[in-house]
Amino acid sequence: MSGRSFKTLLASLMVVGGLGCITVSGTYAVLSSQQTNTKSTVASGTLTFGDTVNTGTTCFSYGSGSTANVNGACAPLMSYSAAAENYPGVPATAKVTIVNNGSIGASDLALFMPSCTAAATPDAPSPGGGNPCAGGADMIVQETDSSGNATFCWYPDFAPGTCSWMDDTLSFFAGATDLSGALDLGSGPAAGASRYFTIGLELPSTASNTLQGQEAVFSLTWHVTN
Amino acid sequence: MSLPKLKAFLTLLMAIGAAAFFGSGGTFASFSAETTNAGSTAASGTLTMSNTVGTGSACATASAASQNNFNEACSPALTLTNLAPGTYGGAASITIQNTGSIDASALSLWAPPVNATLDAALTNGVTSGSSLTVTALEGTVTSGDSIVVSFGTHTQTFVASGSASGGATSIPITAQTANYAYPVGSIVQDTSSNTTASNTDCYDVKTTVAGTTGATKGTDLDFNPTTGNPLCAAALLYVQEQTGGFNYCWFGNSSNAPTGGCTAPISVTPSSALSTSGAITTIGVSALNGNVKKNDTIRIVSGNNTQDFTANADAYIGATSLTIVSATPNFAYPTTSTITDTTVQNTLNPDQADTISKFDTLHNGSSGKIPLYPLTANGTASTTAPVALAHSATRTFYVGVYLPGPPANNQNPLQGLSSTFGLTWHLDQ
């Protein structure tokens, strides 16, 4: 082998060695560091409420009888009995306590009447046949303090103090059958707080004889939003 | 020349070549001179990082609890409770520091896979049994998923033989012989996760503690199923960097934000009561926990009093003053008043694209890693900069969550849920 070829061979070996050196360095030249912030938590609150008629059992928006935080099976405000029949000028009332037992305050409380239908009592005379839902009956939505003292009349006056009886207000109220036309009862209750209402119905002293022995069968829906 | 002699000759040549390579070129000189630089040392540098949430303690990769410079157990970024739709949960800062001696060329962010750590060691050469005992699982494991156990450079992949819910402390697996003595604390990851909202690292459970004393909690309710992780899929996440006076929205909605900022809500209080004596053009506030864009509507509320102002300049996270179009306060709003940006909230309310679930599925460890290039201006990052985080340097990120309140959308199923999730930060040399 000539000296030139020998040097070429050595140079080749050096190149191989050099490549090996470079390649090896490249393979292991990566460092890394890593961290994870684990278990961040984001929890939603709850917006639930209970509805108590007079001194009865509280009916909650969730649980038994409810679907998706809507409970359509709470107790009626008033029930017919012969002893409880109404007379013109004598109001029938029921107290309703709304308690927010969720963890989020309600920014709005609303009330509407999904249905109001007329029915005849067993004592209904003939003729009769009037429809108190359509006219001739009065209704109030009175807010009170926990002792029952009037604080604000939401309907029909919409003013501080005691409600006044106005003709045909039941029929007007019954026209709002869903949330879009609901009576806005302002904000609250806050989480853990309660609001107190008196719902009243009355036949005015000028009521038509056609309303004798007639029933207004209605439901009231209370709705809170956050 | 015979073959053996040829081989011997070539071997000799290789030896000579090697000697020439590792020795010196002086071998063939007729004259020679030599010097020796003795005692040279070649020491490797370090690439480590720390992670500090708010003003908390730094979590280091160099700590004893770390494995192979990975620390998968740093503090939660956020702990938000009692969120209501349309209200801002808040943000937390995370400061990443390169605590090593080597500059990092890349800093990345992604969602960790469903993960936990071993809570019972595996014995080398011994069959694992039919389940892995782990710390509370972050995310949900599905049967057939690949479960990777790692410690340092050791790793072994198991196959889940059943499902495991978020928070579970046991993962059913097909038994295998352990290839290493994996100690308690070894990292356990479900590498099949983060593909759909149902198998993300973020997972939902019903709350077991009420948001306020005596109130209902998630487990009291019957209309808030956790299937599909609905809160993870609804809660909006943003990650905004604020380093060196520059901002960049790395993840989240940025459709109505000042340059470089995320569309991040604010919920702050005035630093002093507003005066009704005349028009004002600024409102001092507690440090902003979001961003305000010029012309946004700024609402202040105290009890039944409310007033809307119009922002007259951009403001970023941390600012303590809002510039507004001149207006006279209609009430002496006290320092307990709440100030929000209704424009931002209205922008975010219909957003279904920037949720925690989306972050997990779009930016998981196997794809979609977010390269956190260094910032050069608000909304501008240099993709060609050789250094992403120099040694000893820091970068600060704000992570926030907003639970949107889509108009006319019943969100009752989101009541009383708790989402748990993680964020992974990664440095490369």
pLDDT in tens, B244-270: 999 999 999 999 999 999 999 999 999
Hey, is the C-beta of A69 within 8 angstroms of any chain B C-beta? yes
Check residue B17 and give its pLDDT.
46
Picking from A10, A37, A67, the nearest residue to B76 by CB comes out as A37
Q: CA–CA separation, B337 vs B318, rounded Å?
A: 19
Report the residue from B102, B136, B212 with minimal CB separation from A103: B212
Full DSSP string of B138-185: BS-B-TT-EEEEEETTEEEEEEBSS-B-TT-SEEEB---B-SS-PPTT
Any B CB within 8 A of A47 CB? yes
Angstrom distance (rounded) from CA B158 to CA B180: 13
pLDDT at residue A50 tops 50: yes
Percentage of chain B modeled with pLDDT above 70? 91
Q: Band of the pLDDT at B306, cuts 50, 70, 90?
A: very high
Judge: A35–B221 Cβ closer than 8 Å, yes or no. no
Check if the beta carbon of residue B306 is closer than 8 Å to that of residue B299: yes
pLDDT beyond 70 at B10 = no
Substitution target in A9, A46, A67 with the highest count of B β-carbons within 10 Å is: A46
Q: Which tops the pLDDT comparison, B336 or A32?
A: B336
How many other C-beta atoms lie within 10 A of the C-beta of residue B12? 10
> In B, which residues are within 8 Å of A66 by CB distance?
222-223
Q: Which of B84, B210, B427 is opposite residue A32, by nearest beta carbon?
A: B427
SS (H, E, C) B40-54: CCCCCCCCCEEEEEC
Q: In what order do the strands lie in the sheet with A59-60?
A: A59-60, A49-53, A92-100, A194-202, A138-144, A150-155, A159-160
DSSP state of B75: P
* Distance in angstroms (rounded) separating the CA atoms of residues B232 and B140: 13
Mark yes or no for CB contact B425/A66 under 8 Å: no
Tell me if B48 sits within 8 A of B100, measured CB to CB: yes
Pairing status of strand A32-44 against strand B79-83: parallel
Q: Is A58 on the interface with B (CB under 8 A)?
A: no
**Contact residues on chain A for B405, CB-CB shorter than 8 A:** 226
Residue A176 has a pLDDT of 87
Q: What is the rounded distance in angstroms from the CA atom of residue A113 to the CA atom of residue A226?
A: 21
**Residue B251 φ then ψ, to 5°:** -150, 140
Are B83 and A42 an interchain contact pair (Cβ–Cβ within 8 Å)? yes
Q: Which helix (H) or strand (E) holds B11?
A: helix B3-22
CA–CA dist A93, A95 (Å, integer)? 7
Give me the amino acid identity at B358.
K
What rounded mean pLDDT belongs to chain B?
91
> Following DSSP, what letter does each residue of B193-216 receive, concatenated?
-SSSGGGSS-EEEE-SS-SSTTS-
Distance from CA of A222 to the nearest CA of B (A): 16
> How far is B116 from A41, CA to CA, in rounded Å?
16
Asked if the Cβ–Cβ distance from B223 to A46 is below 8 Å, we say no
Residue of A nearest to B236 (CA): A42
pLDDT band at B407 (very low <50, low <70, confident <90, very high): confident
User: Band of the pLDDT at B2, cuts 50, 70, 90?
Assistant: low
Per-residue pLDDT band for B128 (boundaries 50, 70, 90) equals confident
Contact B272, B283 (CB under 8 A): no
Tally helices (H) and strands (E) across chain A.
Answer: 2, 13
* pLDDT at residue B40 in the model: 82
ipTM for the predicted complex comes to 0.85
Phi, psi torsion values for B20, nearest 5 degrees: -65, -40
Return all residues near A108 (Cβ < 8 A) that are at least 6 apart: A184, A185, A186, A187, A224, A225
The pTM score is 0.86
Residue of A nearest to B117 (CA): A38
How many Å is the Cα radius of gyration of chain A? 37
Nearest to B109 by CA among B354, B390, B371, B358: B371
Q: How far apart are CA B366 and CA B68, in angstroms?
A: 19
Give the closest of A13, A40, A104 to B18, CB-based: A13
Say if residue B298 is exposed, middle or buried (CB neighbours under 10 Å; 0-12, 13-18, 19+): buried
Q: Is A204 exposed, middle or buried (0-12, 13-18, 19+ CB in 10 A)?
A: middle
Place of tokens 């890693």: B369
Nearest by CB: B17 against A9, A42, A66: A9
- Check B72 against A36: CB less than 8 A apart: yes
CB B172 within 8 A of CB B131: yes
Q: Where are the alpha helices (DSSP H) in B288-330?
A: none
A103 to B22: CB separation less than 8 angstroms, yes or no:
no
CB distance B102 to A31 below 8 Å = yes
CB B111 within 8 Å of CB B364: yes
Please give the pLDDT value at position B56: 94
Other CB atoms within a 10 A radius of the CB of residue B42 amount to 4
pLDDT class of B21 with cuts at 50, 70, 90: very low
Report chain A residues whose CB lies below 8 A from the CB of B413. Answer: 68
Model pLDDT for residues B353-371, shown as the tens digit of each residue: 999 999 999 999 888 999 9
